[in-house]
Structure 1
Amino acid sequence: MSQSRVASFECGRIIATIAIIALHCQIFMQAPLFNGQPLLGMGLNQISRFAVPLFFIMAGYFIQPRLTAERLPYLWRYARPLLIMWVSWSIIYLILPFNFHIVATDGYFAERGMYWQKLLTTPLNTLFEGGLVHLWYIPGLLSGLTVITILLRFKLERLIIPVASGLFIFGLMAGSYAQMTDLSSPIFTRNGPFFSTFMIMLGFEVRRRNISINLKYSIIMLLIGFALFIGEANYLSLQENGSFFHDFLFGTPLWALGIFFALLAKPNFGDNKITHTLSKDVLGIYLCHLIIVIYYLNIVRLLGINSIIASILAVPVVLIVSTLIVRGLRKTPMARFLVR
């Protein structure tokens, strides 16, 4: 998630982080209900799906000049601190208990044992994920960058777009559309290089070709992309054993790229002290926020807090606590292993 200090992109990263927190908090998924369905929660869940694709596009955009010039040496310098943080947080999440009730009734090792066993049932997928599900972002980012770097190393720049497109299409056909294609993948296709390579490629090519679109057409692009995404989600939900919830669909690139171009068209958007200060914590917040979400939901259940009130409080509580943890970690000797 590293980038130059462009106000609109920093603001975009903060908004995307808030969207991810809202997604993981499952806000309004219990109530209110409309005809027995949490339509508000479902809508907010899907609206949040732009966030990680936008992170990938930004990464490709900002890394393009140095990756093109230096290739493998730069990839290693970029990847090394991310891998250290991925391993460190994975260890933390393997140690920390998630379910207070099971710990209280059956003990720490019973609770952890079930989780460890779950990870071991899909070892290859766990390798591309880490100690907790949201950590897939780092292996995904580095997988995508590695694919592009290898093509650059062997002077196959012309293949970046077709290779990235092929991975993206396979990811969808063996992922969200698998119920229609009967294709399968050795890992969950959200993980690894399948989608990340394509999203990174978009940012990479926008920077390399110096492409820009004005705000009006950026908004049209993102609206068309979002409409396509929701249309696909609704269509897939009507299929046998279909789901309404998806991380990536055919509409995702257009939607996320439209948001990116809108931010690019208005570089001074969100140019204030709060944005510049909070944006430094985005990666740390992303890495630590899910355990705060898990503990928050545990406390909500234990205290019997009304689900609507819990949903309203969830995002600000998790954001504030996560930010305080990140800033606290920076003052410890463990900072280099856990935050940037």
Structure 2
Amino acid sequence: MKTISLVLRSAAALLATVAATSAAQAATCGISGNATASPVLYDPFNPAGLPQTNVQLNLTRINGAGGQKTDIVSFYLKSNNSAADGTSIIPVSVTGDVNTAGTGLEIFYNYAATPPTVAPTSLNPTGANRFLKIEFTGNNAASDTAVVNFKITLPANLDLTATTNLPFDAIFACSTTGGGSPTQQTGQISNAVQFPVTVLSALQASYAGTALDFGEVGDKTTTQVLATPASYTTPSINRVSVRSSGPYSVTLSSQNSYRLTYPGGNLAMPNQVLNYKLMFLGQTRSNASPSFSPVTCLRAGVPASEADLLPVVATLLEGGFGKLVSANYADTLTVTIAPLLSGAPSQQNCPAL
């Protein structure tokens, strides 16, 4: 048999450095939240996920013009897609010049879940209608912020994009005092509450296939092999599978510079080698052109259903007739895959290459 084995090397995770940004909203009252401590780390591929972790946020009321202030805000949290479904966020305590209701309740809702009723702000949360209600009792800048302790839990395999803070949308009802007549408003602020949870740029990679096998070619001449290349080309179902929360890089090398030889064979002797070419990520490499240019790939996705499938295809370039006889002509390919920071340049749709 004339075979090529593939060795896959992958790094596990890398810290991300790109944070999410907040979007504006039409209401003149509301809430925003920022971390007060160093972030905890979440690796989507860790089977333990992120066990229940205490995090602390400063929640700051949004005030309007002309002396208008938010006096009550009732809100719940959700993601802008289903990637964070299964998350748990529970406020356990609130400190500041505030009165509160809803501590101890789960205030995160899955993307497609039926939302709670938060308006008007006279409503109080219940076990069947879960949200956090904060009444700001002060009237100066020092009283604009409350410190909230949350318990947050993230299950494994959330399809989250690598980021330095984990943002959620706040859907709220709020009321105002000052600056004219009191108002009741509702709104949604994208990425309003950012938890100090760093989603690592992490990946899992595997080789989904068999050794690239050309079969027995000892009685085949080079002319015969080149005349029917499809007969000496491995199937494209042999693929490298990559799941990732961020972009990743791919490199490739051949132990024998894209030549098959037997154990103890001399690569400098033409009658002891069989040349082949390899097609991978849009590049064709052979002994005549062995240098593989590293490729930077777009984020694949965390679920197995979103894995990038990267075909590895080899074509034999020589027959075995006239070569020294051996049953074990072989080569070893090494594919190295490493996670990258979210802002890595020149990211490509690698399955399409």
Query: Greater Rg, structure 1 or structure 2?
Result: 2
TM-score band w.r.t. shorter chain: under 0.3
- When normalised by structure 1's length, the TM-score is 0.21
Give the number of the structure with larger relative contact order, counting CA–CA contacts within 8 Å between residues 6 or more apart.
Answer: 1
